[in-house]
Amino acid sequence: MVNREYLAMLGNKSVIRELSEYANARGKEIGYENVFDFSLGNPSVPAPDSYRDISVRLLQEEEPLNLHGYNPTMGDPRVKQKVAESLNNRFGMSYTAEHIFPTAGAAGAIAHALRCVTEPDEEVMVFAPYFSEYGAYIRGARASIKVVPIKADDFQINFEAAEAVFNEKTAAVLINTPNNPSGAVYTEETLRRLAQVLTEKSAQYGHTIFLISDEPYREIVFDGKKQAYPAKFYPHTLTCYSFSKSLSVPGERVGYVAVSPDCEQADKMVAMMGQISRGLGHNCPSSLPMLAAAYCLEDTADLAVYETNMNLLYDTFKELGFTVPRPGGTFYIMPKALEDDAVAFCKKALKYDLVFVPGNGFEAPGFFRVAYCVNTEKVERSLSAIRRFVEAEYPNR
Amino acid sequence: MVNREYLAMLGNKSVIRELSEYANARGKEIGYENVFDFSLGNPSVPAPDSYRDISVRLLQEEEPLNLHGYNPTMGDPRVKQKVAESLNNRFGMSYTAEHIFPTAGAAGAIAHALRCVTEPDEEVMVFAPYFSEYGAYIRGARASIKVVPIKADDFQINFEAAEAVFNEKTAAVLINTPNNPSGAVYTEETLRRLAQVLTEKSAQYGHTIFLISDEPYREIVFDGKKQAYPAKFYPHTLTCYSFSKSLSVPGERVGYVAVSPDCEQADKMVAMMGQISRGLGHNCPSSLPMLAAAYCLEDTADLAVYETNMNLLYDTFKELGFTVPRPGGTFYIMPKALEDDAVAFCKKALKYDLVFVPGNGFEAPGFFRVAYCVNTEKVERSLSAIRRFVEAEYPNR
């Protein structure tokens, strides 16, 4: 008999993937350039030349047995050292190499972090809107996901609603800033208040509540601002990172967990992740892509296009009367639909070859996500389609 | 609170790793070239030039967004197609791309295969001697490992002993041929009898018992022979492969599961693996290394050195009076120690700077493993140390 749980999961098709498949099919009819496919969060700018150049140089100059050899269980020491130094320089932290666990992307990072700080049947709190894979990640660690409803005016944290979700089984809180799907950048004020709440609740329940901070969009922040570094505000933080977006290399699966030096059991966490890896079949990220990324820590792909696209879409949505918090970063924007049922709204948009994702899957019903990691030229062409759609379908908005 | 189970695992240090650390420390004293470190299964020959050349060409010529972009959940279609064709050509199978699931090495492959075909608390049978990580892999899938004792004369399968281990909870059998740690290559006769037993037991218990075949050493077979392909003998086979040994790229973490076309639920297995990946944080192997490997499917590193090393060691062990089945492949040999306690035997060998691994961790007590993935020149120098060790410590053997 095959495993019944995984067999049953085959029925649940991801809405995002269904929409993306629709967009591809429609693209075959009318040309993909004419489908305004805003469904998928795939980077649209190429990796920086430095990433290619260092990869080629490593292949040509490093001893193949060293370059392609097994990494130690807890990761390549060169990578760990470079990541620690870069985080210390950028965010005033005091990581050592021993606090860094290289992983296969943010998914690998979160898989290890969750298993470190939860027991089966404990709870992990997330704040809506949240990345729809979090449920699978948390269930994979045999913990339960508990969702705090959205704060609709600015997509910061809804602390009032969180109050009712905390309980003695809360083991960790998983945040994502800059946020997929809302584009919100948590402010220093939000992070400070979160730290205060976590400190109070930890004291109240007699155990540390850990913060897992998922930060793949850290480098995509608009208006010349920076994302405040969550681990600066709360000691018990496991920072999860992926180079997928900053270097536009999502397929290479490279990232890390950084365990805050003042975190409970900070000196044991990375060794625990080494043990966790064995059962997951993870065994370190791939050597060459990880080492190449570690040599490009201060580089990024040309991320400015995302801000250009955001401004074009934000201005258009505002002008058309949408309620829409202005994104502080990422390549997502999440306006309120023009009718209560965002699924119906997105279905109507398809008639205009506009592919939006209803917010339901992110636990933000009534909203829809627009992933503008596409060419600016296409975004510009989409604006008139958006106008036509809204004026025809919602004349009395 | 951090997770107690993983915290407790920190106490259990791997014997192999302890010995390897001893060898490194000793190497600092007397020069690593003077330590005959036979502890670790790390390939000792460089990756073939073709692997480097295709990697460089892909970096220089492919569109970076394609090369480094997200793979589909079930893997890069080009990789899947190439792997299927190669297996069909080499082994007369009839895989299609849909039967292939690219993974991060054999560890990733086994992690997915195990979860596909077991329910929590079911049993997975392994045959001693077996790779010591199998316990972690199987516990990671929440199943139980059940060990069939060794067949000491030739390290083939001990079918008589297996009879007592089969029961209605047996969900799968996990084999490894060519075998780490024994070097045994399962014969056609062994594989045919295994298929017959699995067919009978499946009928007896009213459910299919799956075969998971772990084959990272498939390309390292001696005397001009070939490893018979286990999936040819039994339809319900999930073949797990890694390019770590054939291409000498263990750090790049590339491999696959091939689901036999006649396997129960063959058309659903790869989709199930896609679902399993989500909870594991796996999400496909790294793009560039996997694609490069797929372009080198018919290539290998220069593997002949392993056969040269095996013959030198085998002849010496035989001459010195050891009981030792001659390996058919891999880069391991597993002689019987010259006293009942192989741990004591290996401890004495350390005095002669010979680092062997006692068979206890592989459930082959009384035996020891010699990993001869080292330079032939070093193997040659080790022979006189082996002679001195045996003659001084076991003069009356």
3-state secondary structure chain B: CCCHHHHHHCCCCCHHHHHHHHHHHHHHHHCHHHCEECCCCCCCCCCCHHHHHHHHHHHHHCCHHHHCCCCCCCCCHHHHHHHHHHHHHHHCCCCCHHHEEEECHHHHHHHHHHHHHCCCCCEEEEECCCCCCHHHHHHHCCCEEEEECCCCCCCCCCHHHHHCCCCCCEEEEEEECCCCCCCCCCCHHHHHHHHHHHHHHHHHHCCCCEEEEECCCCCCECCCCCCCCHHHCCCCEEEEEECCCCCCCHHHCCEEEEECCCCCCHHHHHHHHHHHHHHHCCCCCCHHHHHHHHCCCCCCCCCHHHHHHHHHHHHHHHHCCCCCCCCCECCEECCECCCCCHHHHHHHHHCCCEECEEHHHHCCCCEEEEECCCCHHHHHHHHHHHHHHHHHHCCCC
pLDDT at residue B339 greater than cutoff 90: yes
Rounded distance between C-alpha atoms, residue B50 and residue B43, angstroms: 17
Q: Which residues of A touch B271 (CB under 8 A)?
A: 10
Q: Which residues of A touch B280 (CB under 8 A)?
A: 111, 140, 280-282
Token pair for residue B226?
A: 């070939």
Express each pLDDT in B260-302 by its tens digit.
999 999 999 999 999 999 999 998 999 999 999 999 999 999 9
Angle made by CA atoms B20, B24, B25, in degrees to the nearest 5: 115
Q: What is the pLDDT of residue A316?
A: 98
CA distance B327 to chain A (A): 24
Hey, are the CB atoms on B275 and A249 less than 8 Å from each other? no
Express each pLDDT in B227-237 by its tens digit.
999 999 999 99
- Pair B54, B292: CB distance under 8 Å: yes
Hey, are the CB atoms on A286 and B104 less than 8 Å from each other? yes
Q: Which of A2, A115, A280 sits opposite B265 (nearest CB)?
A: A2
Radius of gyration of chain B (CA): 21
Rounded distance between C-alpha atoms, residue A110 and residue B290, angstroms: 23
Express each pLDDT in A58-98 by its tens digit.
999 999 999 999 999 899 999 999 999 999 999 999 999 99
A21-25, A65-69, B17-21, B389-393 — which is least confidently predicted?
Answer: B17-21
Which chain B residue is nearest to residue A266, measuring alpha carbons?
A: B2
Rounded alpha-carbon distances, angstroms, from residue A161 to A236, A363, B72, B187, B395: 22, 14, 37, 64, 78
Q: Which residues of B touch A107 (CB under 8 A)?
A: 278, 281-283
pLDDT at residue B1 greater than cutoff 90: no
Hey, are the CB atoms on B279 and A68 less than 8 Å from each other? no
Q: What is the pLDDT of residue B276?
A: 95
Of B361, B360, B367, B365, the closest CA to residue B133 belongs to: B361
Rounded distance between C-alpha atoms, residue B255 and residue B252, angstroms: 9
Q: What is the pLDDT of residue B18?
A: 82
Q: What is the pLDDT of residue A14?
A: 74
pLDDT at residue A366 greater than cutoff 80: yes
**What is the value of pTM for the model shown?**
0.96
Express each pLDDT in A262-320 by its tens digit.
999 999 999 999 999 999 999 899 999 999 999 999 999 999 999 999 999 999 999 99
Interface test with B, best of A133, A253, A300 (most B CBs within 10 A): A253
Hey, are the CB atoms on B70 and A250 less than 8 Å from each other? yes
pLDDT at residue B14 greater than cutoff 80: no
**B22 φ/ψ sector (left φ>0, alpha ψ -120 to 50, else beta):** alpha
Residue whose structure tokens are 């000793």? B26
Hey, are the CB atoms on B108 and A281 less than 8 Å from each other? yes
pLDDT, average across residues B242-270: 97
Question: Percent of chain A at pLDDT above 90?
Answer: 91
**B128 φ/ψ sector (left φ>0, alpha ψ -120 to 50, else beta):** beta
Rounded distance between C-alpha atoms, residue A171 and residue A206, angstroms: 11
Q: Which of B45, B73, B104 sits opposite A281 (nearest CB)?
A: B104
Q: Which residues of A touch B285 (CB under 8 A)?
A: 253, 286
Q: Which of A1, A279, A286 sits opposite B286 (nearest CB)?
A: A286
Which chain A residue is nearest to residue B108, measuring alpha carbons?
A: A281
- Pair A240, A214: CB distance under 8 Å: yes
Hey, are the CB atoms on B248 and A68 less than 8 Å from each other? yes
Token pair for residue B314?
A: 């085998």
Which chain B residue is nearest to residue A44, measuring alpha carbons?
A: B65
CA distance B134 to chain A (A): 9
Express each pLDDT in B41-97 by its tens digit.
889 999 999 999 999 999 999 999 999 999 998 999 999 999 999 999 999 999 999
In Å, the largest CA–CA distance within chain A is 68
Q: Which of A2, A17, A280 sits opposite B280 (nearest CB)?
A: A280
pLDDT, average across residues A347-370: 96
Interface test with A, best of B68, B78, B123, B241 (most A CBs within 10 A): B68
pLDDT at residue A11 greater than cutoff 90: no
Q: Which of A1, A43, A137 sits opposite B207 (nearest CB)?
A: A1
Question: Percent of chain B at pLDDT above 70?
Answer: 99
Hey, are the CB atoms on A9 and B275 less than 8 Å from each other? yes
pLDDT interval class at A24 (50, 70, 90): confident
Q: What is the pLDDT of residue A265?
A: 96
* 3-state secondary structure (DSSP) of residue A239: strand
Q: Which residues of A touch B103 (CB under 8 A)?
A: 281
Express each pLDDT in B173-221 by its tens digit.
999 999 999 999 999 999 999 999 999 999 999 999 999 999 999 999 9
pLDDT interval class at A217 (50, 70, 90): very high
Q: Which of A6, A115, A137 sits opposite B3 (nearest CB)?
A: A115
Q: Which residues of A touch B139 (CB under 8 A)?
A: 279
pLDDT at residue A383 greater than cutoff 80: yes
Q: What is the pLDDT of residue B21?
A: 83
CB-based burial of residue B11 (10 Å sphere; 0-12 exposed, 13-18 middle, 19+ buried)?
Answer: exposed
- Pair A231, A240: CB distance under 8 Å: no
pLDDT interval class at A16 (50, 70, 90): confident
Q: Which residues neighbour B370 within 8 Å (Cβ) at sequence distance 6 or greater?
A: B38, B313, B332, B333, B334, B335, B356, B357
Hey, are the CB atoms on B65 and A55 less than 8 Å from each other? no
pLDDT at residue B16 greater than cutoff 90: no
Look over chain A and give the mean of its residue pLDDT values, rounded to a whole number. Answer: 96
Q: Which of A6, A73, A264 sits opposite B2 (nearest CB)?
A: A264
Hey, are the CB atoms on A253 and B286 less than 8 Å from each other? yes
pLDDT, average across residues A171-175: 98
Express each pLDDT in A318-344 by its tens digit.
999 999 999 999 999 999 999 999 999
Interface test with A, best of B283, B296, B302 (most A CBs within 10 A): B283
